[in-house]
Amino acid sequence: MYSNKRILRISAPLLFSLLAQNILQVIDTAFLGRVGEVELGASALAGVLYIAIFTLGFGFSMGSQILIGRRNGEQNYRQIGEIVIQGILFLSMLAAVLIPLMSFASRHWLPLLFESEHIAEAVTEYLVWRIFGIFFAFANVMFRAFFMGIAQTKVLTWNAIVMALVNIVLDYALIFGNFGMPKMGIGGAALASVIAEIASMLFFVIYLMKNIDFKKYGFNIIRLRWPVMKRILDISVFMMIQNVVSIGTWMLFFLFIENYLGERPLAVANIVRSFYMILTIPANALSATTNTLVSNTIGAGRRDEVFSLVKRISRMSFAIIVVVALCVAIFPKAVIAIYTNDPSLIDDTVIPLYVLLSALPFYSVGGALFSAVSGTGNTRTALVFELVTMIFYVSYMWLIIVHLRSSVAIAWTTEHLYWIFLLIMSSVYLRSGEWKNRQI
């Protein structure tokens, strides 16, 4: 059984890694908030569009991480490197298809989605640069899956620090035209992120060469193996679909706000989104740890310990996120001022931020339980839970934004519904024990 101390030791580096990575989003939002409201709102839409593509690779890597964790628990180390190599080869081929497709779509198709011509132009300007980072981002998620799967997460902290530092310096240079660089605005934010992804990949490659036993983990043989790739896809495809569906509805949320509520509500929603990404970092770190430890525990033949492990992680996640939310709730205007110096925009963001904070406890527990479902290898079941939840989520979103034209604050109550549904379904499933005979 993993002790609380061991859980925190695995989670902490991942937490710092996520923190450093999400600081990139904070810096982008803070810088672009000084450029203008259009750029601030457009960065939310463009960012979600990019993430929608990125989640294909991320879902594949999460399926890979489950397999790596299971093989690590079984002490079948040589197959781990094989999983990583086949994952990188597959995602490289996928990136080679997606980059030209998205480059074309960002110029000719995506502008048709937006009511505001200024928003459409800014989104296109961002994506024509940002999409080139997808190849490096896909490689990075496989490296991350490797280190998470073998429960050696310290390297993720250092990698994220390198990535954050590169991105911050280049954001300052390319958005505003400092250090002799061209003044590129929102396009500069996108290019800075691409270069940061490249720096991250180079860091992982150098670290692997210097610190990992290639023979032990099977990295010494690099060749295309379709049977291994198919085995990964058998687990990953449901997570890939799940992530695309989830991000697709997230994109729909921002499109509804832009189309039916306007540019100012979109700017408010982007600020709240940035808080969402930062404040949920502890819960996300513990959720990823849940996935890894559940898979390792099952691989070691200790299935009866799984539910107890998940309950302890859920309690830890709940306690941490409640403290974080309370700290932000005390001084909301001070923290919102990080993103904008417009007093009216700050005032408009306070109530939506409070609504978001009230959803975080459900996020903390629901995220851990839902990750545990995937960690058992039952990714098909996790996809079904996601799809059922999305039916209610989209219906509710349409009702309050499109039909009722409610405020941004009311719109954010969609997160309460989403996480309560996933929390209940995941809890019932884990208690049922139906997952215990799943072999991968």
Query: How confident is the model over 321-341, as pLDDT tens digits?
Result: 999 999 999 989 988 887 777
Handedness of CA 199, 335, 363, 401 (dihedral sign): negative
Overall average pLDDT of the 410-431 stretch: 93
Give the global pTM.
0.76
d(CA 313, CA 271): 29
CA distance 84 to 88: 6
Q: Is the pLDDT of residue 358 over 80?
A: yes
In whole angstroms, give the CA distance from residue 204 to residue 423: 34
Share of the chain above pLDDT 90, in %: 30
Q: Cα separations (Å) of 371 from 239, 256, 332, 436? A: 11, 28, 30, 16
For residues 207 and 189, what is the distance between their CA atoms, to the nearest angstrom? 27
Give the orientation angle of helix 281-299 with respect to helix 343-375, to 10 degrees: 0
What is the DSSP secondary-structure string of 43-78? HHHHHHHHHHHHHHHHHHHHHHHHHHHHHHHHT-TH
281: burial class by Cβ within 10 Å (0-12, 13-18, 19+)? buried
- Reply yes or no on whether the pLDDT at 416 is more than 80: yes
The better pLDDT of the pair 65, 19 is held by: 65
Please compute the mean of the pLDDT values over residues 251-274 and round it to a whole number.
83
The 3-state DSSP class for residue 114 equals coil
User: What are 328's two structure tokens?
Assistant: 């932000």
- Give the CA diameter of the chain: 62
Predicted confidence (pLDDT) at residue 356 exceeds the cutoff of 80: yes
What mean pLDDT value characterizes the chain?
Answer: 85
Per-residue pLDDT, 19: 65
> Both tokens of residue 98?
């997606």
The pLDDT score that the predictor gives to residue 112 is 76
